[in-house]
Each structure stands twice: as structure tokens, then as C-alpha cells.
Amino acid sequence: MPKKNLFAGLFIFIFFIIVYTSSQSQSIFGGDAGDLVTAAATGGVAHPPGYPLYTMLTSLLIRFIPVGSIAWRASFLSSVPLSLALGILTIYIGLISGSSLAAIFSTLTLGTSYLYWLYGIVPEVFSLHLFFMATQLLILQYWHISNKRFPGILFVTFFVLSLFHHQIILFMVPAYVYYIISNKKRVIKFVSDNKKQITGAAILSLLPLLYFVYSIPKLALYTWEDTLTISNVIKILLRTTYGSFTSATEILQTPFARLTDIYAYLAIAVEDLTLPALILSVIGAGYQFKTNRKHFNFTFLAFAFTGPIFFFYGAYILTNNFTIATFERFIMPSYFFITIWIAYGFKAFYGALSALVSLIRSRTEETSRLQYLPMLFAAFLIIPLNLLFINYEKMHVLTHDNTAEKLSENILNTTEKNSIVLLSDDNGIFNTSYIHFANGYRKDDVVINSNQLFNSRKIKNLIQKNPTVTFPDIKDKLYIEKFVTLNESTHPIYSTSKFLVSDNYVWIREGLLYRLFNKKNLPSEESILKKNNELWDSYYDPLAGSLGSFKHLMLSTNLLLYRLYREETGDYFYVAKRYSEAEVHYRAALRYENSNALTYQKLSIALMGQKKCDEALGILDETYKKFPKSSETSLYYVKFYTECRKDDEKIKYWKQYYDSSIQKTQEKLNTL
């Protein structure tokens, strides 16, 4: 293996280990991170497929790194593997392209892109997956060149390891199958000569699964599985209860509908890697096709299946920040192959420039290469340097950010002592579990993932870990009602969502949570409103952290929760005819998140209630311009011209406008 490629890979690794570790997040950030880190910190099992290798390694990092937050320590399993992956990818690109400078340029572009930098500094499973992918590519290429036995066996080891880490490695299989077919005789001979070694390597790669044998029986404080059977382990690994990387196949049923995900994929790639880099990748793909057809076929299959075909299969509905943030994480593997083409594009561009200079100056290609290669490389470095400059501030603000943890502190600080807190959304469950189980915050509360409350296999763990809580028979048809009856006298009960309960009880909004009250002991309207004001005044402002300067999609999903719950608080004050206070809450809701017409509409009627007619009309006009498809705005205009500024003609106009909008919508539905 040429030393120049090794030095190039080492340079890239050192560069990015410095960049990533220096901007590493102290926070769990969002998404699945809270779940993953909490499982590692408590010795439990994370959500399917359980991520046994990741959990085991993260657990070791948490225990043996003596400084920093638990999330920061866990993030080393993002920064280190991703830096290694980029270094290994650099070596691989140098080998297949014959240009270490092209490899350095392309991986600098990849590593400084938004997605790679982000997932190199927050705790998540994707960096380890990318490390496995890069390692497999390099090992396969080295085996192809050397024809030695050891690299082939090592490839099997890393493939099986990656398979039981994250199953999206399966989308690399078509490219691997192509390689096997293209080298059929060689592969058959290798398998025939090394059956025992290959089998041994595969079995050795299964050792991380022993983590389940260790973890499940001990019933950790936080775990998704509490019964050790082969059947249960298989269900975890196969994600039978958690989905197989699809989002909305029942909605995006037609091929045309699914093409919207491919369009979104390309749009995100342009924003991440820049348009010049993608143009270079298109040129590079053509150049690789021309110069090395087999490598092109392999790269194209890998790109197609980890990129466009994966998203065509996944059918994601990109309607909000959470779904887009979930979507974009799965783009990362396909960027490897765009990066390979960027390197080939650099090489093609350099070759064309060298030929042109040689023609003009009548010099040899070698002379022009020596003279112009450094200049060309420096010129192309503008792309990664630009990405470094653009993305530095976005990532640097995460270094000491704790927005995710503060949401959970706000949630738990809403409760009285010794409360039962039922959590039902990802942000609520994962973030709150992290601060409660991993950091030991508010140990007096009983924090329960409400999904497990209705799962017969999870009840055993809940009963053992929460002896003060009484659980009825899971088979009882009135299970939730009996759960409430048995516990409401000893534990205040809170929830992030309203469960169906008997007529004797009612859920009342208290800040970020609902609290269950027996109708015999309902608080007065005044005390409910006072409590809500006190809670919102006491909460940490989510815009005081990184979200105040840049809204990372996954983290910004917290703002949606704040907006929804603040808006509902405003509803309480509006119903009580305390319009000025309702206005305060509606405006606060809009400050958090302003993508919903209803919040504006509610603000307008709170202003109407105070006879602030000019302001109310201004809000309605803003709503109409910002949300032209919201036919309901016309009804608020009707209310305005009825109660605030009497105008029969305007009332008639907006009623007709509403009727026309509804009719058009119905016609579209009938067409569909």
C-alpha cells in the first residue's frame, strides 16, 4: 500500500479528530441519543435493534473517562469512529483513484459538511456504522490487490459486526454481490479454501450479542427488554416491533409520490456538499466510468442503494423538522460514494488542465503537473474551507448547549414530589430518561415510558423497579382506569398526553404536562391559571441556548412542544376571558415556533377580546399572506368584522371565500 495514501489518511484522521473533539457536544442533543446513552449508562438495552456493540463500548467510555457530562463522554464513540472512517476512506480513494491529493480534497469536503460534522460531535450510532463501511471498502480493495487470505477473513468479520450494529449495511449488499460475480472464481476459491476461518470470523463477530445475555436478566433501571429468550433477542435484532427504516409506505404508495424523497435527498446533498462539489462529482462519475468501468459499477450500485433506492423504499413524509431530521441521518452512507466521485472529478479536472497547459506551453504533462498541481489543489480547497467556515458556528454553539436536558428538567420540575410521570413522545421519553436514570435527576419521581405500561413483557421490570406503584393485571379491560384508581391517592399523576380515563377524572394542563385530577378535588380556575403562569415563568427558555442562533432540525423539535403547550395554556386564559394574558402566551408560542396558522389565529381573537382591532387585523393579514391555503383564516376575518369592526360586505366576502375554499378542497379530494 503506497505510503503517500497512508500519510494522507493519517492527516485526515488527525485533522478531524481535532475538529470533532474540540466541538464535541456536552448534550444528548435529541433524537435517539437520550435512549442510547441512558441504556449505556444504566447497563440496559436500547430501542431495537438494541445496538449491543455501541451500548457496550459507550458504557466503557462513560465509566473510564473521568471528566465531562455523560453525553460528552458517549460522544467519543461518534468523533473517533467518524475521524477514523474519513481517514480510511481517504486511503481507499487514494488507492482506487491513484491520487492522494484528490482523496484529501474530497474527504475534507465530506468531513466539513453539515451532516458529518453534526453526527461527529453528538452521541449517535451512525459514526460507528460509517467506520464499518469505510473499513469494509478498504479491506475489500486491499484483498483485491494483494490476494491474501487475511483481508478476506477480516472483511467477513467487519461485515457481520456491522450487520448486528445497524442493518442499513444490507443496502451495500448489491454492490458486494456485484464484486463477487465479477471475481467469481477468486471468491469461490477463497471460500472453498477458508471455510473454517470464515465461519470462525463470523462467529467471533457475534460476541457483542453476549451483551444481551449480561444486560437483560439484571433488569437495568432503563431497558427495552426484560426477558432473555432467543425469540426476544431475535425480535430486537430484526426490529419486528420497531419498523424496518420505513416511514409512511401506506401513504406514499405510488412511485411518483416516493420520488419526492429523492428530490429532497438531492436538495439536502446540494446544501451539505455545495453545488460545485456535486458538479465535480458528476464529472468524476463520468471519468470513473471511462477509466475504470468495474469500479464505477461497484460505486454506482453502492450509491444507488444507500441513497435514492433506500429513500424510495423508506417513503418518508417530510412534513416537519422531526421527519426531515430523521430522514437526513440516513443520507450519510451514500455521501461516501459521492465523495469518491468528487475525487475523480478533481483528477479529471486536473488532467484536463494539465493537457491544456502542456498544449499551450508545449511542455510535458509531467512538467505542468509539478507546476500546477499545488495551485489547483489550493484553488479547490476553497470548497472545504468554505464549509469549515459556514459550519463552525453552527457546531460550536452545541459545545456547551444543554437545551435537550433543560426541556426534561422543565418537565420534571412541573411535578409535585413523588409523582408518576407518563411519557409518550420521543423527546419526552428519551431526554427525560437520560436526566432521570443516567444523571439521577428527580429520583423521587416515577418516570414511565407509557408504551411499556401497556406491554405485558415490560410490566415485570416496571413492577420491580417501582415498588411504590401498584400495577393491575395487564389483561384487565379497564387496566388504565384501575391503574389510575390504585395510584392517584398516593402519587400525583402527570402525562405528556391525555389517556382515556373514567368520567371521575379529568386531565388539566400544567405547563409542559397534563395533571390528572379527581373531579371531587378539582382546583379552582384561578389556581389553575396561577399555576400555569408560575410554571412558564420558571422554565428555562429554549431559545436561550443554541436554538437562539441556529435551529438544528432534531434539536428544534423541542420548540414544537413548547409552542403546542404554551398555545394550549393560552387557550385556558382565553376561555377565562383573561385576554391580555392569553395574548402573552400566544405571542410566546409564536416566538418558539411560528409555522402553524392556528397560533396566529388564536392571537388575533385574543387581541379582538381586548378591542385591539388594528393589531388583530394586522395579525390576520399576516396569517393570510403566510398561510394562503388555510381557509380557516377567513372565519377569523368574519369574527373580526362582526365583533371588532362591523362591516357586512367584508363578512359576506369572507364567508363566500371560505365556502369556495372548502368546495375546491372537496373537489381535489374527490379527484384523488
Together in a domain, 276 and 342: yes
Angle at 116 between CA 115 and CA 121, to 5 degrees: 100
Identify residue 302 by its one-letter amino acid code: A
The CA distance from 589 to 569, in Å, is 10
Of 334, 364, 396, the one marking the end of a domain is 396
**Three-class DSSP category at 223:** coil
Of 339, 373, 396, the one marking the end of a domain is 396
Together in a domain, 269 and 380: yes
Note whether 441 and 421 are within 8 A (CB).
no
Residue 270 in any domain: the answer is: yes
Residue 368: pLDDT band (50, 70, 90) is very low
Together in a domain, 309 and 250: yes
The CA distance from 637 to 654, in Å, is 7
Burial class (CB in 10 A: 0-12, 13-18, 19+), 482: middle
Together in a domain, 383 and 462: no
Residue 653 in any domain: the answer is: yes
Residues 6+ apart with CB under 8 A from 485: 502
**In 292-401, which ranges are continuous DSSP H helix?**
293-306, 308-314, 321-329, 332-361, 365-380, 382-396
**In 98-205, which ranges are continuous DSSP H helix?**
100-111, 114-119, 126-146, 149-163, 173-182, 184-193, 195-204
**pLDDT surpassing 80 at residue 376:** no
Residues 6+ apart with CB under 8 A from 446: 418, 419, 420, 421, 466, 468, 469, 491
**pLDDT surpassing 70 at residue 251:** no
Note whether 164 and 208 are within 8 A (CB).
yes
Together in a domain, 139 and 250: yes
- Residue 416 is part of which domain span? 403-538
Q: How many CB atoms lie within 10 A of CB 637?
A: 24
In tens, the pLDDT along 629-645 reads 888 999 999 999 999 99
pLDDT for 365: 47
Together in a domain, 387 and 309: yes
Together in a domain, 140 and 13: yes
Together in a domain, 496 and 476: yes
Q: For residue 159, which of 144, 143, 172, 174 has the smallest C-alpha distance?
A: 172
Task: Count up the domains in the chain and report the number.
Answer: 3
The CA distance from 467 to 421, in Å, is 15
Residue 497 in any domain: the answer is: yes
Can you tell me the mean pLDDT for 175-200? 93
What is the rounded average pLDDT for all residues in the chain? 90
Together in a domain, 608 and 666: yes
Residues 6+ apart with CB under 8 A from 314: 245, 246, 247, 261, 327, 330
Domain harbouring 645, CATH code: 1.25.40
In tens, the pLDDT along 259-318 reads 888 889 999 999 999 999 999 999 999 999 999 999 999 999 999 999 999 988 887 888
Write the DSSP string, 338-368. HHHHHHHHHHHHHHHHHHHHHHHHT--HHHH
Residue 571 in any domain: the answer is: no
Distance from the Cα of residue 54 to its chain's centroid: 17
Residue 20: pLDDT band (50, 70, 90) is very high
The CA distance from 331 to 115, in Å, is 9
Together in a domain, 183 and 168: yes
In tens, the pLDDT along 442-483 reads 999 999 988 888 777 677 778 888 889 998 888 888 888 889
In tens, the pLDDT along 534-559 reads 999 999 999 999 999 999 999 999 99
